[in-house]
Amino acid sequence: MGITHLLEDFGPATFVQQTDFPELSEELIEEERAVSYEKGYSAGWDDAVTAKDKETAHISATLTSSLEDLNFTYKEAQAQLIESLDPMFKVLTSAVLPDTMAATFGHHIVDQMTDMAKMHTDQPMSIFVSPGEGTAVRSLLPDSFATPVQVQEDENLAPGQAYLRAGTSEREINSSGLVESIQDSIEAFTYHVREDSQYG
């Protein structure tokens, strides 16, 4: 007995032709192409939308970061400006404004009294000022009033305060209160700017 049955045969093979596969029609091939095209187009569209969304998110994040940096820079600049202006504000409210108010206090009283005299002609007129300010106010009064104006010093009034009366009409002048109000407003403003720059 030989061993040929144990060895592989490299001789010409005999192929059996299979005819089990159905033949594809041209319509079926076109339909398959259309479906493949739709799938490819849809996948491409989804990829494009995803890429666009990523780009939009990146641009949005960059813009937000830039705006935050800009806002921080603006707040820093504002805080530095306030810090540099603070000494000027203090000099303005502690020296310049009070001196200006004191220098123009008498003139302001006369202006207000003149305005009141237009509406209350021939009625008694009085000015009440703090102790020591009566003489200065009397020297500023014009002789054009129809009735004499009485100037009285009232110990309950502080410097820079005055009450004007013409008939039944009264007005109050408070230069010191105005200066204090301006000081409070400036201090509140600088405080809020500092708080905003510190805590955002």
CA 45 to chain centre: 43
> Residue 68: inside a domain, yes or no?
no
From CA 178, how far away is CA 27, in angstroms rounded? Answer: 95
Average pLDDT over residues 170-199: 79
For residue 145, the model assigns a pLDDT of 67
> Residue 86: inside a domain, yes or no?
yes
Asked whether residue 163 carries a pLDDT value surpassing 60, the answer given is yes
How many structural domains is the chain composed of? 1
For 32, the token pair is 């398959």
Banded model confidence at residue 128, pLDDT cuts 50, 70, 90: very high
Of 3-7, 50-54, 84-88, 136-140, the least confident? 3-7
Asked whether residue 139 carries a pLDDT value surpassing 70, the answer given is yes
More confident residue, 4 or 175: 175
CB-based contacts of 77-85 (< 8 A; 24+ apart in sequence):
78/193, 78/197, 79/193, 79/194, 79/197, 82/190, 82/193, 82/194
> Residue 100: inside a domain, yes or no?
yes
DSSP code, position 5: G
> Residue 125: inside a domain, yes or no?
yes
> Residue 27: inside a domain, yes or no?
no
Give residue 92's domain range. 80-199
- Give tens-digit pLDDT for 62-75: 888 777 776 667 77
From CA 163, how far away is CA 126, in angstroms rounded? Answer: 8
Asked whether residue 137 carries a pLDDT value surpassing 70, the answer given is yes
> Residue 18: inside a domain, yes or no?
no
Average pLDDT over residues 8-25: 62
> Residue 31: inside a domain, yes or no?
no
- Return the top range by mean pLDDT from 73-77, 173-177, 195-199: 173-177
> Residue 35: inside a domain, yes or no?
no
Percentage of the residues of the chain whose pLDDT score is greater than 90: 2
From CA 164, how far away is CA 153, in angstroms rounded? Answer: 12
